[in-house]
Amino acid sequence: MTESRRDPTATTTTVDAVSTAVPDHRQAVSPPRPVDEQFTPTDWSLFVAVASIWGASFLFIDIGLDALPPGVITLMRVGLGALALALIPRRRTPVRPADRSRVLVLSVVWVAVPFTLFPIAEQHISSAVAGLLNGGTPIFAAIFAVALFRQRTRGAQLLGIAIGFVGVVLVSLPSIGDGSSEALGVALVVGATVCYGLAVTIAAPLQQRYGSVNLMAKVLALATLWTTPYGLWQIGDASWQLGPILAVAVLGVLGTGVAFALMGDLVGRVGSTRASFITYMIPAVALVLGVTFRGDEVVALELVGIAFVIAGAVLASRRVTVR
């Protein structure tokens, strides 16, 4: 089976466009290899590295909370990520005036708001549950693609959105049933995931135009400004212990910085369709790490729910060609 070329009139859900539309940060790459060609060891190394880094983000946040308040974690994460991307050699493309407002919006909905919500949420729910709920991002991205860009959605895609929503509900139910504190944590993560879904919808064409690293570098630089007041307000509550500080440093430099460059390399090597399966690996990585290193408890209903979410995301991300 070979990957078909995109028809000029083709319409895709944003899950496929996102995963996405991450061009190589060098902005001049050779075409991806045929879809039926096996991954090389380098391809697998990039795939596993990105899935592991992004899946471990929830664990690093949880460790950071042992000594640092949420605002400090967010500021360190965003600031270190911005610094890491600023140091990566690349061709720098100025943002067109017409796109500046979109970049500004992305700095809020892609970084400032969700990166603030996750540490607050993980004060109420485990890192494993947070990672599982984050698996709903492709579902919300597909919904925003339809709502904002009038992309035609039918058949398997509609079924995927419905199944994905059922999955999010199933993952949420056990925590909601545990009390108002856990319910708040679930609501915050779902809110952050909705922000991600909106952000990737807006970001896809900008990533194609400027490159993933160029765009994210600008977004993180702006988001550092927005998250500084909250971070400074809580800095007096921080306990500067080495372990949590290192966890947040890794979260910022690798998870918020370097991983975007690695993803760009992977997309350039194997194409966005095959690279997109990282999206479905992140909840599994978060689950394994949370249970292994933090003793997180996950009930059977949550596992069933994430299976629904992943199945729904796969269906919702299928390409639809309008003839």
pLDDT above 50 for 13: no
Name residue 11's beta-bridge partners: 320
List CB contacts of 239: < 8 A, sequence separation 6 or more: 67, 68
**Can you give the pTM of this predicted structure?**
0.82
What is the predicted pLDDT for the residue at 151? 64
| Residue 136: how many other CB atoms lie within 10 Å | 30
H helices within the chain, ranges in order? Answer: 14-19, 41-64, 70-86, 100-106, 113-121, 127-134, 137-149, 155-177, 180-210, 212-234, 242-250, 259-270, 272-275, 278-294, 300-316
More confident residue, 40 or 156: 40
pLDDT above 60 for 67: yes
More confident residue, 29 or 157: 157
What is the predicted pLDDT for the residue at 124? 94
Lowest mean pLDDT of 13-17, 95-99, 208-212, 271-275, name the range.
13-17
Q: Coil, helix or strand for 94?
A: coil
What is the predicted pLDDT for the residue at 29? 44
Name residue 185's beta-bridge partners: none
Lowest mean pLDDT of 25-29, 45-49, 57-61, 67-71, name the range.
25-29
Task: Tell me the C-alpha distance between 109 and 104, whole Å.
Answer: 9
Range 27-31 average pLDDT: 46
What is the predicted pLDDT for the residue at 231? 97
Taking alpha carbons only, the member of 77, 88, 85 closest to residue 218 is 85
What is the predicted pLDDT for the residue at 41? 87
Model confidence at 311, pLDDT cuts 50, 70, 90, reads: confident
More confident residue, 295 or 141: 295
Taking alpha carbons only, the member of 49, 16, 57, 3 closest to residue 266 is 49
Lowest mean pLDDT of 1-10, 129-138, 302-311, 312-321, name the range.
1-10
Lowest mean pLDDT of 99-108, 126-135, 219-228, 249-258, name the range.
126-135
Task: Tell me the C-alpha distance between 312 and 322, whole Å.
Answer: 21
Radius of gyration of the chain (CA): 19
* Per-residue buried b or exposed e for 51-80, using 16+ beta carbons within 10 Å of the residue's own CB: bbbbbbbbbbbbbbbebbbbbbbbbbbbbb
What is the predicted pLDDT for the residue at 81? 96
What is the predicted pLDDT for the residue at 245? 97
Domain boundaries, the chain: 14-21+39-316
pLDDT above 80 for 308: yes
Judge whether 285 and 52 are in contact, CB under 8 Å. Answer: yes
Structure tokens at 314: 């796969």
175-230 residue pLDDT tens = 776 667 888 999 999 999 999 989 888 888 888 888 888 999 999 999 999 999 99
Judge whether 111 and 78 are in contact, CB under 8 Å. Answer: yes
Taking alpha carbons only, the member of 28, 12, 45, 44 closest to residue 214 is 28
* Alpha-carbon 103 to chain mean position: 17
pLDDT above 90 for 132: no
Model confidence at 278, pLDDT cuts 50, 70, 90, reads: confident
